[in-house]
Structure 1
Amino acid sequence: MERIETPILVVMNVQRGYDYAGYGKRNGMFAEARMKELLSIWRERELPVIHTQFDDPKQSSPLHRTNAGFHFKDGFKPQKNEQHLIYSSYSTFIEQVLTKEQKPIYIFVGFSLFPHIATVSQVLSTSDSHQYIVADATVSFEKISFNNESLSADEVHFAILTSMMNDETTVITSFMAKQLAVSAKNIGKQKTTT
Structure 2
Amino acid sequence: MTALILIDVQRGFDDAFWGPRNNPDAEANIAALAKAWRGPVVLVRHDSAKPGSPLAAGTTGNTFKPELDDVRPDLVFAKTVNSAFHGEVDLHAWLTNRGITDITLAGIQTNMCVETTARVGGNLGYRVVVAIDATFTFDLEDLTADQLTAATVANLRGGGFAEISSTKEVLDRL
Same fold (TM over 0.5): yes
Asked whether 1:114 is paired with 2:111, we answer yes
Q: Distance in 1 between matches of 2:155 and 2:163?
A: 11
Q: List, as ranges, runs of 4+ consecutive aligned residues in structure 1 with deviation greater than 2 Å.
A: 77-82, 89-96
Richer in helix (by share): 2
Q: Distance in 2 between matches of 1:174 and 1:29?
A: 14
Displacement after TM superposition at 1:82 (Å): 2.2
Asked whether 1:92 is paired with 2:86, we answer yes
Q: Deviations over 1:17-55 (max 9, x none)?
A: 10111111111101100111111101xx3x110001100
Asked whether 1:24 is paired with 2:16, we answer no
Q: Distance in 2 between matches of 1:137 and 1:81?
A: 18
Q: Is the 8 A contact 2:104 2:128 kept in 1?
A: yes
Question: Who is 2:169 aligned against?
Answer: 176
RMSD after superposition: 1.9
Amino acid of the structure 1 residue aligned with 2:170: A
Displacement after TM superposition at 1:59 (Å): 2.8
Displacement after TM superposition at 1:94 (Å): 8.8
Asked whether 1:133 is paired with 2:118, we answer no
* Structure-2 change in CA distance of 1:136 and 1:30 (3 Å): same
2:5 to 6, 10, 31: 10
* Structure-2 change in CA distance of 1:151 and 1:80 (3 Å): closer
1:73 to 65, 74, 85: 65
Aligned length: 168
Counterpart secondary structure, 2:61: helix
Higher relative contact order (CA 8 A, sep 6+): 1
Question: Who is 1:190 aligned against?
Answer: none
* Structure-2 change in CA distance of 1:67 and 1:81 (3 Å): closer
Question: Who is 2:140 aligned against?
Answer: 143
Counterpart secondary structure, 1:86: strand
Give me the TM-score of the superposition, normalised by structure 2.
Answer: 0.88
Percent identity, aligned pairs only? Answer: 22
Give me the TM-score of the superposition, normalised by structure 1.
Answer: 0.79
Displacement after TM superposition at 1:157 (Å): 0.8
Q: Distance in 1 between matches of 2:168 and 2:122?
A: 23
Q: Distance in 2 between matches of 1:141 and 1:14?
A: 14
Of structures 1 and 2, the larger Rg is shown by 1
Q: Deviations over 1:50-100 (max 9, x none)?
A: 001100011310101132210111131474552111111345339622211
Q: Distance in 2 between matches of 1:93 and 1:170?
A: 24
Counterpart secondary structure, 1:124: helix
5+ residue gaps, structure 1, are 1-5, 145-149, 183-194
Amino acid of the structure 1 residue aligned with 2:125: D
